[in-house]
Amino acid sequence: MSRLPLVALVPLVGALGAFAISASGEEIPARKAGLWEMKMSIAGGQMAPQTMQQCIDAATDAEMRQPPGMEGVDMTKACKQDIARTAGGMTIDSACNLNGKQTKSHMVVTGSFDSAYTMQVTVASDPPSPRGEMQMSMEGKWLGACTADQKPGDMIMPGGMKINILEMRKMRPGGPPPGMQR
């Protein structure tokens, strides 16, 4: 089975936080502003485990919840979602119709968005993806304030490459209109 390229990490990280509001109005808490270490892996050899860092503020964290390519879509209309609080976190079940494609996800979140959390995510789509159902694991750990040379949206990828996810979205065709860019 082929592995996902390193650049696939960028949309995956944003997509994991995507579905922020359920039909009941329950919200997934925002992460604490600052520098986060993110460890991700996808089962089945689709991607080797990766570790990166993200510098976020409240606005960046909210923007990263919007799935890549879906800027401007009202996710409360495109998705039906159930969020259940548990003793250690929450369980989120979503069913979305995005661009005519049905996607269902099950996410178990434990920990705190102020210090450290884990997510176990299963995503299935109809029509099915050629790679099949995706099972992903992610751990987030708050490291402290962003460094002096970082700004919100900066991601330090494996190998040290630094990108800014907000600037990447501006460059993509069909990105947000100029008046909505940061």
pLDDT tens digits along 87-112 = 889 999 989 887 778 889 999 999 99
Among 20-24, 147-151, 152-156, name the one with the lowest average pLDDT. Answer: 20-24
Give the pLDDT confidence score for residue 107 in this predicted structure: 93
Instruction: Encode pLDDT of 163-173 as tens digits.
Output: 998 888 777 55
Confidence of residue 69 (pLDDT cuts 50, 70, 90): low
User: What percentage of the chain exceeds 90 in pLDDT?
Assistant: 37
- Structure pTM? 0.76
Helices in 36-177 by DSSP H: which ranges? 58-64, 75-78, 165-171
Give the pLDDT confidence score for residue 122 in this predicted structure: 92
Q: What is the mean pLDDT of residues 61-73?
A: 68
Spell out the residues 6+ positions from residue 162 whose beta carbon is closer than 8 angstroms to its own. 154, 155, 156
Bigger pLDDT: 1 vs 150: 150
Q: How many residues does the chain have?
A: 182
Neighbours of 76 (CB within 10 A): 14
| Sequence ranges of the domains in the chain | 6-173
Phi-psi region of 56 (alpha: psi -120 to 50; beta: other; left: phi over 0): beta
Give the pLDDT confidence score for residue 182 in this predicted structure: 33
Candidates 43, 64, 50; CA nearest to 9 is 50
DSSP 104: E
**CA–CA distance, 141 with 144 (Å, rounded to integer):** 9
Instruction: Encode pLDDT of 8-40 as tens digits.
Output: 444 444 444 444 433 344 577 889 999 999 999
DSSP 29: P
Across the chain, what does the average pLDDT equal? 78
Catalogue the E-assigned strands of the chain: 34-42, 47-56, 79-86, 89-98, 101-112, 116-126, 134-144, 154-156, 162-164
